[in-house]
Structure formats: C-alpha cells, structure tokens
Amino acid sequence: MADAGAQVRIVALRGGAGLDRRMTEMGLNIGAQVRVLQRQGGGLVVMRGESRFALGGGMAHRVMVTQV
C-alpha cells in the first residue's frame, strides 16, 4: 500500500472471495479511489468519500494500488 497522504486507486485484490466480499461491502472495490490517512505498522486507515476504514496488516498487504 502507499504512504500516508497518498491518493491511490485499487487495481487488484489478492485475497480470495472472502476479501473481495468484505472490501466490496465497504465500497473498496477494484477501481475505487481512496486516500491513505494513516499508516501504522502494517495497518492502514483509508478514506473514500466521507467514510473512513481501518484495514489490518493482513488485509492491507493483499490490496494492490496505483498512485493517482
């Protein structure tokens, strides 16, 4: 994932059906643009629109992004 403050687009999810479903439920699907608000250890806090989401390290490492 990217550093705090970065604006990124999700390009792939590498965690199987469970991760795909969970991310889609949060609106963090492929093509979504998010801003990385905080990065601590392996975990992240990201923002999409007005919503903030915390991703644990295991989940964050399975989300492939590109800088916008």
Residue 1 pLDDT > 80? no
Q: Tens of pLDDT along 42-66?
A: 899 999 999 999 999 999 999 999 9
Tens of pLDDT, residues 3-56 = 999 999 999 999 999 999 999 999 999 999 999 999 998 899 999 999 999 999
| pTM for this prediction | 0.90
Q: Which residues of 2-23 are buried (b: 16+ CB within 10 A; e: fewer)?
A: beeebebebeebebeeeeeeeb
Q: How far is CA 21 from the centre of its chain?
A: 13
Fold (topology level) of 7-67: SH3 type barrels. (2.30.30)
CA within 13 Å, CB half, 14: 9
